[in-house]
């Protein structure tokens, strides 16, 4: 049994306890938070509560620390926990830049303990479906992948609205979205990054960003996130060499794969199209020339992250979210901030 403790018992700290509850082989028993009001909450849930981080980390029977504080504490607390001889799961964004992550990775190597990051969105239903469809080759060569997360409330709240805490949407959602894209193409290199970070309705941090990642083999990704969009665009759109995919939302219950119906030949259009007007290139196909294939059945992998932790604590080679993969994401995030500051694209090899 892995005995786990939560460092930072806020929204995500609670989510961890709820998600770990049904997992065999791991149990949360202890909590640390600087907010004294969390003591009563922890007690109600049956966890021991520590107001002092050093005492929390000194517990001999604590095997694994889950760090769920605001972002700017992640580096120091991860290093402290590793030096205290604990395995560590850190919330995303793992750190505010790659240099900070490297300091953690050095401590992890010295400690011999597992260090990983809660990149839980690698197991989202919509993302697993996207991966499967791309891997199946149904779309041919994926030339452009578009990932959008567009919320409606327009509110960036609490520490997320404060740059001193690592606020803003690039750190919040961008790390998930970039991580997903990089996991799609582990063997490709990102060669160029262009980022636009805007503070639209929030004063100090980005509440809208648009990121272009160009890969080394005529493939690119568009990653976009904003908190105030009252119309929908698909969560995923893929332009492939032999088909097009759209997955509408996180549930992955709506969307489709579209391909040419091989029973029909596609020829250059003649004349003036009633809708498009005088373009033969953009004149649409006849409905029967396109085959729309429904999405496959969604897969639920909600427990996969924590089940992997249980496995990896016995055999570290099995760790799913490897530090190197997270480091690659942080390098892209660093390049995105640099690009936004310079207002130009940045050449990289990541």
Ligand X SMILES: NC(=O)c1ccc[n+]([C@@H]2O[C@H](COP(=O)([O-])OP(=O)(O)OC[C@H]3O[C@@H](n4cnc5c(N)ncnc54)[C@H](O)[C@@H]3O)[C@@H](O)[C@H]2O)c1
Q: Which residues, including other chains, have CB under 8 Å from residue 312's CB and lie 6 or more apart?
A: 114, 116, 318, 319, 320
DSSP letter assigned to residue 7? E
Residue for token pair 């060569």: 141
What is the x/- site pattern for ligand X, positions 62-81, by CB under 6 A? ------xxxx-x--------
Chosen residue from 92, 148, 192, 327 binding ligand X by CB under 6 A: 92
Minimum distance from residue 343 beta carbon to ligand X (Å): 27
Chosen residue from 21, 24, 34, 285 binding ligand X by CB under 6 A: 34
Six token digits for residue 216 = 């080394």
Residue for token pair 């001193």: 164
Indicate whether 9 belongs to the interface with ligand X (CB under 6 A): yes
- Look at strands 87-90 and 115-117 and give their pairing: parallel
Minimum distance from residue 319 beta carbon to ligand X (Å): 17
Quickly count helices (H) and strands (E) in the chain: 10, 15
Minimum distance from residue 218 beta carbon to ligand X (Å): 32
Minimum distance from residue 267 beta carbon to ligand X (Å): 49
Chosen residue from 86, 87, 113, 118 binding ligand X by CB under 6 A: 118
Does residue 311 contact residue 304 with C-beta atoms inside 8 Å? no
Chosen residue from 2, 4, 6, 8 binding ligand X by CB under 6 A: 8
Nearer to ligand X, 118 or 192 (CB): 118
Indicate whether 173 belongs to the interface with ligand X (CB under 6 A): no
* CA 326 – CA 321 distance, rounded (Å): 7
Number of chain residues interacting with ligand X (CB under 6 A)? 22
How far is C-alpha 341 from the geometric centre of its chain's CA atoms?
23
Q: Which stretch binds ligand X (CB under 6 A): 11-19, 184-192, 271-279, 334-342?
A: 11-19
Indicate whether 5 belongs to the interface with ligand X (CB under 6 A): no
Scored b (16 or more CB within 10 A) or e, 277-289 reads eeeeeebeeeeee
How far is C-alpha 287 from the geometric centre of its chain's CA atoms?
36
Scored b (16 or more CB within 10 A) or e, 211-248 reads bbbbbeeebbbbbbbbbbbeeeebbbbbbbeebebbbb
Indicate whether 163 belongs to the interface with ligand X (CB under 6 A): no
- The stretches of the chain forming alpha helices (DSSP H) are 11-20, 38-45, 53-57, 74-83, 98-111, 125-136, 169, 175-184, 304-314, 323-342
Minimum distance from residue 117 beta carbon to ligand X (Å): 9
CB 338: neighbour CB atoms within 10 A?
A: 14
Chosen residue from 17, 98, 120, 125 binding ligand X by CB under 6 A: 120
Q: By beta-carbon distance, which residue lies closest to ligand X?
A: 10
Nearer to ligand X, 34 or 40 (CB): 34
Q: Which stretch binds ligand X (CB under 6 A): 5-13, 221-229, 237-245, 249-257?
A: 5-13
Indicate whether 33 belongs to the interface with ligand X (CB under 6 A): yes
Minimum distance from residue 171 beta carbon to ligand X (Å): 7
Minimum distance from residue 69 beta carbon to ligand X (Å): 4
* Binding residues vs ligand X (CB under 6 A): 8-13, 33-35, 38, 68-71, 73, 91-92, 118, 120, 158-159, 172
């Amino acid at each position: 049994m892995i005995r786990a403790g939560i460092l930072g018992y806020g929204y995500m700290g609670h989510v961890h306890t709820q998600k770990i509850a049904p997992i065999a082989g791991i149990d949360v028993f202890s909590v640390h938070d600087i907010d004294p009001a969390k003591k009563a909450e922890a007690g109600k849930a049956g966890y021991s509560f520590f107001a002092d981080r050093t005492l929390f980390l000194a517990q001999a029977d604590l095997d694994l620390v889950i760090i769920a504080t605001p972002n700017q504490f992640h580096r120091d607390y991860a290093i402290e926990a590793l030096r205290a001889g604990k395995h560590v799961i850190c919330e995303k964004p793992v750190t505010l830049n790659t240099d900070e992550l490297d300091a953690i990775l050095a401590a992890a190597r010295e400690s011999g303990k597992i260090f990983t990051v809660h990149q839980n969105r690698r197991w989202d239903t919509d993302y697993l479906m996207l991966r499967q469809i791309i891997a199946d080759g149904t779309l041919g060569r994926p030339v452009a992948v578009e990932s959008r997360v567009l919320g409606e409330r327009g509110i960036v709240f609490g520490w997320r609205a404060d740059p001193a805490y690592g606020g803003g949407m690039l750190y919040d959602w961008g790390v998930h979205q970039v991580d997903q894209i990089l996991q799609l193409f582990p063997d490709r290199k990102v060669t160029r990054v262009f980022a636009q970070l805007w503070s639209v309705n929030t004063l100090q941090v980005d509440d809208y960003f648009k990121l272009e990642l160009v890969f080394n083999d005529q493939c690119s990704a568009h990653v976009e996130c904003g908190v105030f969009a009252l119309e929908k665009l698909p969560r995923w759109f893929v332009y492939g060499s032999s088909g097009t995919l759209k997955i509408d939302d996180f549930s992955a219950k709506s969307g489709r794969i579209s391909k040419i119906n091989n029973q029909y030949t596609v020829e250059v259009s003649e004349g003036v199209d009633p809708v498009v007007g005088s373009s033969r290139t953009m004149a649409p196909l006849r409905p029967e020339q396109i085959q729309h294939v429904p999405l496959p059945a969604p897969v639920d992998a909600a427990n996969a992250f924590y089940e992997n932790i249980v496995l990896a604590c016995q055999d570290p080679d099995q760790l799913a979210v490897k530090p190197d993969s997270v480091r690659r994401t942080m390098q892209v995030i660093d390049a995105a901030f640099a690009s936004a500051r310079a207002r130009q694209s940045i050449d990289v090899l990541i």
